[in-house]
Structure 1
Amino acid sequence: MIQAVLFDLDGTLADTAPDLGYALNLQRERHGLAPLAQETIRPYASHGTRGLFEIGFGLTPEDARFDPMREEYLELYTANLCRFTQLFPGMAALLKALEERNVHWGVVTNKPARFTNPLLEQLGLIKRAASIISGDTCLHPKPHPEPLLCAAREIGVAPQTCLYVGDAERDIEAARAAGMPALIADYGYLGAADRPETWGAQGRIDTPLGILTFLE
């Protein structure tokens, strides 16, 4: 029986791609480059600055410019953290339904806490979440299982009674390693090269409310 539902943040709980892309285009403008279409940026939004810089500047972490460019980008993103970001359609209704059923919910993301907490505050969720685990809360981020296990401990439930929902392969890998059932958010930021059918999740959902089917 599922006692808690844990969500990835970017591409699962909230549609953060518009602000991630907005900051990337501001940075491109600073460097004399034309803006990219949001549709081009969107599939990279779940992969952090590594993915965004791949599409935005053709940079990898091995490039000497990567770290200073990353700092510049993060400053721009901090200033535009919740300009366009919204919960995915159906997510607000889902969270209400979970709370009415006394099912705990929380967030486990690789996003650093300096962004996670202010963003959830602006979305009106920080006091409602039973656990918030960011990318720098634990020693290891996803795909290591530690963040998911930490959330389960914080909520006070066994890992096998938690359902984890994410839109990236590392999300499902982390859930499997933690002994948690997992669902793939098909409405998230899946890219053309992703093969979610091979990730080993218990199911896939087209809308957040699809999660309720797995709780019955």
Structure 2
Amino acid sequence: MRLCAVLFDMDGTLLDTAPDFVAVIQAMREARGLPRVPEHQVRDVVSGGARAMVVNSFEVDPLSDEFEALRLEFLDRYQDHCAVESRLYDGMERVLAEIERARLIWGVVTNKPVRFAEPIMQRLGLAQRSALLVCPDHVTRSKPDPEPMILACRQLALDPASVLFVGDDLRDIESGRAAGTRTAAVRYGYIHPQDNPNSWGADVVIDQPLDLLDVLDRALCSC
């Protein structure tokens, strides 16, 4: 079936959003008179969300009241700092331009809440180009459940088999496969040191955004 659309996970796939997460963590530690943490300490657990970043940065019991206060502060601070340093990964602008030149559709399916995802897309000038943005707010079950991908395909009026979903986490690949899309795993995203994208069962694994151009060429030439 002809490839009609490319959908991206947001954090660690389409965008390098870690610098803003790191800045928020460092500001919280500075406010408490604590030293800065190594950047990789935050980057390594970005895929685990606010919970993982707070636990890893403050060594706090996730069942404690202290943890919940830290988590809420993290989210409040991030609301004001969610698109300051976040950027497209190197090469991704060219990928998007080639997707648009080929008259394919592209969009974003993320586990990032809409209150953060929408401002980021707007401030980076991507909202006007993206065909859709699917967040946990729009579904009852987030990735790895297939519901977000099924919703995206339904909104685009596309057969899932004509869609390629690109992600940097096992949950992305599981969601895409369960929904019936083609899948591409990336090695450049927020991959935990002990994780291995080659074991996720994706149709293809890439090292950098520009590798997607070859994937797209092969997909289009085989149609």
Question: What TM-score does the superposition give when structure 2 sets the normalisation length?
Answer: 0.92
What SS is found at the alignment partner of 2:136? coil
**How far off its partner does 1:61 sit?**
4.0
CA distance in 1, matches of 2:175, 2:63: 25
- Residues 11-42 of structure 1: CA distance to partner in whole angstroms, max 9, x if unpaired? 00000000011111111222332111212221
Conserved 8 A contact 2:16-2:89: yes
Aligned length, in residue pairs: 216
Q: Give, as a single letter, the amino acid of the residue that structure 2 aligns with 1:6.
A: L
Q: Give, as a single letter, the amino acid of the residue that structure 2 aligns with 1:177.
A: A
Match of 2:45 in 1: 44
* Residues 17-166 of structure 1 aligned to structure 2 (within 5 Å): 17-59=18-60, 61-166=62-167
- Residues 52-72 of structure 1: CA distance to partner in whole angstroms, max 9, x if unpaired? 023111235433333222111
**How far off its partner does 1:5 sit?**
0.5
Conserved 8 A contact 1:50-1:60: no
Tell me, which stretches of 5 or more residues in structure 1 are unaligned? Answer: none
Conserved 8 A contact 2:161-2:181: yes
Q: Give, as a single letter, the amino acid of the residue that structure 2 aligns with 1:54.
A: V
Is it true that 1:204 corresponds to 2:205 in the alignment? yes
Conserved 8 A contact 1:41-1:52: yes
Conserved 8 A contact 2:186-2:197: no
- Residues 57-92 of structure 1: CA distance to partner in whole angstroms, max 9, x if unpaired? 123543333322211111111111122111000111
Q: Give, as a single letter, the amino acid of the residue that structure 2 aligns with 1:115.
A: F
Q: 1:168 to 1:121 in 2, by over 3 A?
A: same
Q: Give, as a single letter, the amino acid of the residue that structure 2 aligns with 1:49.
A: A
- Residues 175-199 of structure 1: CA distance to partner in whole angstroms, max 9, x if unpaired? 1111111111111111111122221
Conserved 8 A contact 1:53-1:60: no
What is the alpha-carbon root mean square deviation over aligned residues? 1.3
* Residues 181-192 of structure 1 aligned to structure 2 (within 5 Å): 181-192=182-193
CA distance in 1, matches of 2:136, 2:30: 29
Runs of 4+ in 1 over 4 A off after TM superposition: none
Tell me, which stretches of 5 or more residues in structure 2 are unaligned? Answer: 219-223
- Residues 149-173 of structure 1: CA distance to partner in whole angstroms, max 9, x if unpaired? 1111111111111111111111111
What SS is found at the alignment partner of 1:194? coil
Question: What TM-score does the superposition give when structure 1 sets the normalisation length?
Answer: 0.95
CA distance in 1, matches of 2:107, 2:3: 13
